[in-house]
Amino acid sequence: MNIWNLKNKSVLVVDDYDKMRALMREILAPLAADKIMMARNGYEAIELLEKHTIDIVLCDYKLGNGKDGQQILEEARHRNLLNYNAVFIMITAENTSKMVMGAIDYLPDDYISKPFTPSQLQNRLEKVLNKKAKLDNIAAAINQKNYSSAIALCEQKLHESSYGQTEVLKTKGELLIKLGRLDDAEYFYQTLLKERNIPWARLALGQVYFKKSNYGDAAIQFESLMQECPDNIAAQDWLANTLEKSGECERCQAVLEKAIQKSPKSSTRQRKLAAIALQNGAFDIAEKAYESAISEGRNSCFGNMADISGLVKSMISQEKIEEAKKAIEHIKKNYKKTDEIRLHTALASSIIHRETNEPEQCKQNLDAAFKLMEMQSIELDSESALDVTQTCLAVNNLELAGKVVKQLVSNHFDNAKLLDQVKALYEKAGKLDEGEAIIERSKQEIISINNEGVKLAQEGKLEQSINFFAQAAKGMPNNATINFNAAYSMIRQMQTTGEISKYLPLSRQFLEQGHKIDPHNQKYFQLIKLAEELSSKAA
């Protein structure tokens, strides 16, 4: 009866209600899927996604206590648990607005609202799959990370016909951006927009301008999108990013506040608002936003417990010391006692005692935090590291401060603004000389490590250089340069021997890690091109 079917496809159904799962199985049965898997909650879903290659996810948005559907989607896409052309369909209650779900960068391929008939679901599936089918070989190239050849395939398709190719156009643009070909991307989107005012193309053009640090033109695109449709949350998020970069902090806060009114469930957006409000001195707004960032981040892969320190800081600034203490107690009591929670509640407590001049309690919490960091080799984000440095200096523990600064410098030795912030902390504590000395020493250390590895590579001792950088990257996983250099030595080695199986995936891992740390670093784009050439030569 069905002309199309799900042969060779594996399907994952996520629903907490057993009758619904049974019903879905019934609906899917005649479509002859290769495999139908069931998950009752987010954790089961993520586990199945980790273990299996799944082509279609049918996920209920509301799943009881744990992760919701949007959080599953975000984690699956963010952690690359889904192939490029995998389909994710969100099943929602009738009155759930799409915005309520809080999506920023991760949208499902389609929404379907309950109740639906079997044929409605089948029709939706067929439509989405047809759309994705246009990407068949392009998606295969992307899954193999052969981005340039994927672009070539896009161009070939577009040459055949430029109509009905929205998916291909979107993909081509994304790939141009991914490979850092920003001029090409700009021209590509501008050409599209000449003929028709297409919102997704305008959003992407704005992002290209943003990446080119052309914040003026970026803002124009995002603002025009918001004028056409005030509900365009993505445009608001990007406008906020743009305003932040151009130093318009008050406007940035206003835009984020408006976006959050409409779509409050994203912990990332809440965190952004909280940070900018704290900076702007709008402490009550910061407090509320940090609270939301913590609670919305609870089951999200974008949750970050460093928010506890932010919450405490915004409360202290309003002289709500007791409330701040209570907030920490509340988290200790109600959250699972992970090392991350222990660490960040200790750090937040140390901040409170620092501000209330209780050095003994402050020291106790600092010690507890350092023990955890060393035991679990946890690295602090730079905001937390600055806080800890300040606290260490306040209790006059130069040794611990030095440890934190050393790590901070080793990861960010070329970030002058951050190093100035460190210096300012030492200066405020009346220890400018010590501060400058430790920064300089750490900087030299990292530079000499780097030089040693580069020298090995230059002398042709590529295996040694690879081992050296890989070892260094283990100790400094958040140092972009070390990651890029590890990848570079591997690429040189592959170029010399012609043997790619050993290092290609590993070198890509280092590249992606470096890119994640420092998205603007051009080295990534140069190296990823070399990696591609190697892989296409081998194929």
Partner 1 sequence: MNCVDFSTLLASCIHDLKNEMGILISKMDEIAHAATDHNKTEMEQLLLQGKNVNDHLVQLLVLYRINESQYYPYFAETDIQVFLDETLAHFYPLFAQKHITLTVNCPKDLYWHLDSDLMRGAIGNIMHNLYAHARSNVTIAARTDNQALVIQIKDDGPGYPDEMLQPACHHQKKFSFKSSNTGLGLYFSEIAAQLHCNYDKKGHIALSNNGINGGGCVTVVLP
Considering only 196, 333, 336, 417, the residue that binds partner 1 (CB under 8 A) is 196
Instruction: Give the single-character DSSP code of 4.
Output: S
Contacts of 110 (CB under 8 A, 6+ apart): 87, 89, 90, 124, 127, 128
Please say which residue, 202 or 271, places its beta carbon nearer to partner 1.
Answer: 202
Binding mask 202-231 for partner 1 (x = CB under 8 A): --------------------------xxxx
Binding mask 118-157 for partner 1 (x = CB under 8 A): ----------------------------------------
Considering only 199, 264, 359, 477, the residue that binds partner 1 (CB under 8 A) is 199
3-state secondary structure of 287: helix
Q: Where are the alpha helices (DSSP H) in 161-282?
A: 166-178, 182-195, 199-211, 215-228, 233-245, 249-262, 267-280
How many residues sit in the footprint of partner 1 (CB under 8 A)?
Answer: 16
- H or E element, residue 489: helix 480-497
**Per rule CB under 8 A, is residue 198 in the interface with partner 1?**
yes
CA atoms within 13 A on the CB side of 142: 22
Please say which residue, 159 or 333, places its beta carbon nearer to partner 1.
Answer: 159
Q: Residue 451 and residue 467: Cα distance in Å, rounded? A: 14
Overall residue count recorded for the chain in this entry: 539
Q: How far is CA 342 from the centre of its chain?
A: 23
Stretch that binds partner 1, among 195-203, 289-297, 421-429, 503-511 (CB under 8 A): 195-203
**Per rule CB under 8 A, is residue 20 in the interface with partner 1?**
no
**Per rule CB under 8 A, is residue 191 in the interface with partner 1?**
no
**Per rule CB under 8 A, is residue 26 in the interface with partner 1?**
no
Phi, psi values for residue 265, rounded to 5°: -90, 0
Smallest distance from the beta carbon of 228 to partner 1, in angstroms?
7
Q: How far is CA 459 from the centre of its chain?
A: 37
**Per rule CB under 8 A, is residue 38 in the interface with partner 1?**
no
**Per rule CB under 8 A, is residue 3 in the interface with partner 1?**
no
Stretch that binds partner 1, among 133-141, 197-205, 324-332, 454-462 (CB under 8 A): 197-205
DSSP letter string over 7-71?
Answer: TT-EEEEE-S-HHHHHHHHHHHGGG--SEEEEESSHHHHHHHHHHS--SEEEEES--TTS--HHH
Considering only 197, 338, 376, 536, the residue that binds partner 1 (CB under 8 A) is 197
Please say which residue, 131 or 325, places its beta carbon nearer to partner 1.
Answer: 131
Considering only 1, 19, 159, 163, the residue that binds partner 1 (CB under 8 A) is 163
Tell me: cis bond preceding 115? Omega within 30 of 0 counts.
yes
Smallest distance from the beta carbon of 419 to partner 1, in angstroms?
46
Considering only 166, 190, 376, 396, the residue that binds partner 1 (CB under 8 A) is 166
Between strands 87-92 and 110-113, the pairing is parallel
Residue 151: count other Cβ atoms within 10 Å of its Cβ: 23
For partner 1, the binding residues in 230-259 under the rule CB under 8 A are 230-231
Stretch that binds partner 1, among 7-15, 159-167, 235-243, 373-381 (CB under 8 A): 159-167
**Per rule CB under 8 A, is residue 115 in the interface with partner 1?**
yes
Given the rule CB under 8 A, which residues bind partner 1? 94, 115, 117, 161, 163-166, 196-199, 228-231
